[in-house]
Amino acid sequence: MPELPDLEVIREYLAPRVVDVAIASVQVRRPIVMRNLLGGDPADHLVGQRLTHVGRRGKFLLFSLGNGVSMVIHPMLAGRIRYGDPLARHRVRDVLVLCLADGRELRYHDAKDMGKVYLTDDLNQVPRFAIQGPEATDADLTLDVFRQRLLRHRGEIKRVLVNQTFVAGIGNAYADEICWRARLYPFRRRASLTAGEVTRLYSAVHCVLTEAIEILRTCVGDAIDVEVRDFLAVHGKAGQPCPRCGTSVSEVRQARRATHFCRNCQPGLLVGGGLGR
């Protein structure tokens, strides 16, 4: 699932390459994923328009057009964005292909059909967009603001972190990394955190995300459609040694979501109802 670090690096890569380039033609190959909130044929709103800005908000990637329309990509679990020379053949799960006037193409592919591409002139029409909290890396998200926002949410720490109304941009993978960095059991109740633990959590949010952006900038290159996660400490590393203490990383699965953590560095009660190792 592309999260804040992934999408920020994709945004940085695309902006200098596609801004001020016109869209020559459009192919909507999987209409089920396309949400044209303007009505009519999507091509009528896209073809001939220049891309004027590439932005990001939380886990949404935003493409602004000269006619005031925004194309919003919400990759969800398996959405991937490719930019480059045209492919010789379309792939089965290619959703949208924008052929650009400079001969390159921008292509959205979704192996699960869970993501969405929206066309709108009002971002508040995009589901879940307007209710997002501040960016998780926003300089204005001070420790005091973080504490106050945290008080509004109940439940397990990890569930709060991935709640986009708390802060925007954190998903399953980086929530695991943040909890590990903060030495907090991901299934701890938010209300049980001490003031010192909240400070550690706040610091971990900033450090994990900013470090990930720096790493991805150096290793992603042109392959922005390839998800890079091999540098993570615990997420996806079940059974491997914890980088901090050497204990095998544990995995608990609940509601189709895998959580990875170190039982030694992040002690807590065993989770009921989960499948763990």
Catalytic residue among 147, 217, 257, 263: 257
Q: Is 59 a catalytic residue?
A: yes
DSSP β-bridge partners for residue 258: 253
Catalytic residue among 2, 42, 75, 186: 2
Helix (H) or strand (E) holding 9: helix 4-18
Report DSSP letters for 181-248, one per residue: HTT--TTSBGGG--HHHHHHHHHHHHHHHHHHHHHHHHH-TT-TTS---TT-SSTT-TTSBPTTT-PB
Tell me the two tokens of residue 199.
């400070």
Per-residue burial over 228-248, b = 16 or more CB atoms within 10 Å of its CB, e = otherwise:
beeebbbbebbeeebeeeeee
Q: Is 3 a catalytic residue?
A: yes
Q: Is 267 a catalytic residue?
A: no
Residue 98 burial class via C-beta count within 10 angstroms: exposed 0-12, middle 13-18, buried 19 and up: buried
Give the span between the Cα atoms of 190 and 145, in whole angstroms. 16
Q: Which residues contact 221 (CB under 8 A, 6 or more apart)?
A: none
Catalytic residue among 56, 59, 80, 158: 59
What are the catalytic residues?
A: 2-3, 59, 257
